[in-house]
Amino acid sequence: MGLRGLRVALAVLALTCGGACLGVGQETPGSQRIWTVPEISALPNNAQGRLVRRGRDLITATYAYIGPEVADRSKRFAGNNLACSNCHLQAGTKKFGIPLFGLFGEFPRYNARLGAEITIENRVNSCMTRSMNGRALPVSAPEMQAMVAYIKFLSTGVPPGELLPGLGTGKMPELDRPADPVRGKAGYTNACATCHGPDGAGIPRSLPSTDLGYVMPPLWGGDSFNDGAGMARLITAANFLHFNMPHGADYLNPQLSPEQAWDIAAYVISQPRPHKAGLDKGFPDLLEKPVDAPYGPYADGFSEQQHKYGPFAPIRAAIAKLKAELKGTPTR
């Protein structure tokens, strides 16, 4: 087996060995080792160790430090009582649970929404203004520095340009029909309402007078993510549900079929939530806009309804044709 074959074999191993081993790491003489999530408890009790731990705390209990009800009004950056870990599961360490590991070296990177290069701080603030429905943190803010330190820590030992298995939300087969919110409502009632409530309001923590946040987060309504968040897009939401929900599921043991996940996600994103102003101003190159962005304008001629619920294959084909025409090359 050559080096290329060894890389493939190790990558397959990393995909099948659960949370303990996540990807191919740095080479050692005569072999390669498997990269694992670094252990935060092993950090020394020095300034850097405390900074990283504070970053983790900000990810897991965002509402308690920079939420809309904290005592210091100047620290109210988040606009809801969610935690970052409501989407970045297990403090950003769960495979296909939108993990934060291995990402630090990917920045700065090009962002199609802005049509420009962004930093890791810009990416954090995108979550702050969308998923957290709040306002941007200053780059110099202690909270920003702590969260970035934690994200960097989760990339310890990952060479720049190395993409670890398990990033994002995974990818399941798409439907050849629109996802159906009506079917999804029945699926939500059966699989999701016990934890997130029949009205999607979640389950608050038991001491609302002294404790903030949710045991189970709201999926819509005023204290949820806004309509500009990644989770408000069908492809993101459906794959997240398939590989992570209901509670206890993971990519090795999905409990929802792909069809159920698509329809439940359609129901969730069809519900009312806060509006993010200026959504129509993003993506200077509309051909780079995600096919499931549920807001216009679009370059492809398809309706907002189809962009929201699919099917997406015809949209992708139209975009590919438009791109080929711009380049003066025939489409296949």
**Bigger pLDDT: 209 vs 162:** 162
Distance, first Cα to last Cα, the chain: 35
Q: Tens of pLDDT along 193-241?
A: 999 999 999 999 876 555 689 999 999 999 999 999 999 999 999 999 9
Rg from Cα positions in the chain:
21
Confidence of residue 1 (pLDDT cuts 50, 70, 90): very low
> 118 forms bridges with which residues in the sheet?
109
Quote the pLDDT of residue 22: 52
| Separation between Cα atoms, residue 278 and residue 124, nearest integer Å | 19
In this predicted structure, the answer to whether residue 192 has a pLDDT above a threshold of 80 is yes
Confidence of residue 25 (pLDDT cuts 50, 70, 90): very low
Q: Tens of pLDDT along 41-62?
A: 999 999 999 999 999 999 999 9
In this predicted structure, the answer to whether residue 19 has a pLDDT above a threshold of 50 is no
Long-range Cβ contact pairs of 22-28 (< 8 A, separation 24 or more): 22/95, 22/101, 22/102, 22/164, 22/165, 22/166, 23/102, 23/158, 23/162, 23/163, 23/164, 23/165, 23/166, 24/162, 25/157, 25/158, 25/159, 25/162, 26/157, 26/159
Q: Hey, which bits of the chain come out as E strands?
A: 23-28, 31-35, 109-111, 116-118, 203-204, 214-216
Q: Which residues contact 258 (CB under 8 A, 6 or more apart)?
A: 172, 173, 175, 238, 242
Quote the pLDDT of residue 5: 42
- What is the model's pTM? 0.89
| Separation between Cα atoms, residue 312 and residue 167, nearest integer Å | 22
Do the Cβ atoms of 96 and 170 come closer than 8 Å?
yes
How high is the mean pLDDT of the chain? 90
What's the one-letter identity of residue 99? P
In this predicted structure, the answer to whether residue 12 has a pLDDT above a threshold of 80 is no
In this predicted structure, the answer to whether residue 21 has a pLDDT above a threshold of 80 is no
Distance of CA 47 to the CA centre of its chain: 29
Quote the pLDDT of residue 68: 96
In this predicted structure, the answer to whether residue 3 has a pLDDT above a threshold of 90 is no
DSSP assignment letter at 63: H
In this predicted structure, the answer to whether residue 20 has a pLDDT above a threshold of 60 is no
What's the one-letter identity of residue 102? G
Do the Cβ atoms of 36 and 20 come closer than 8 Å?
yes
Q: Tens of pLDDT along 291-326?
A: 999 999 999 999 999 999 999 999 999 999 999 999
**Residue 198 CB neighbour total at 10 angstroms:** 11
Q: Which residues contact 141 (CB under 8 A, 6 or more apart)?
A: none
Q: Hey, which bits of 65-219 come out as E strands?
A: 109-111, 116-118, 203-204, 214-216
What's the one-letter identity of residue 242? H
The share of the chain scoring above pLDDT 90, in percent, equals 84
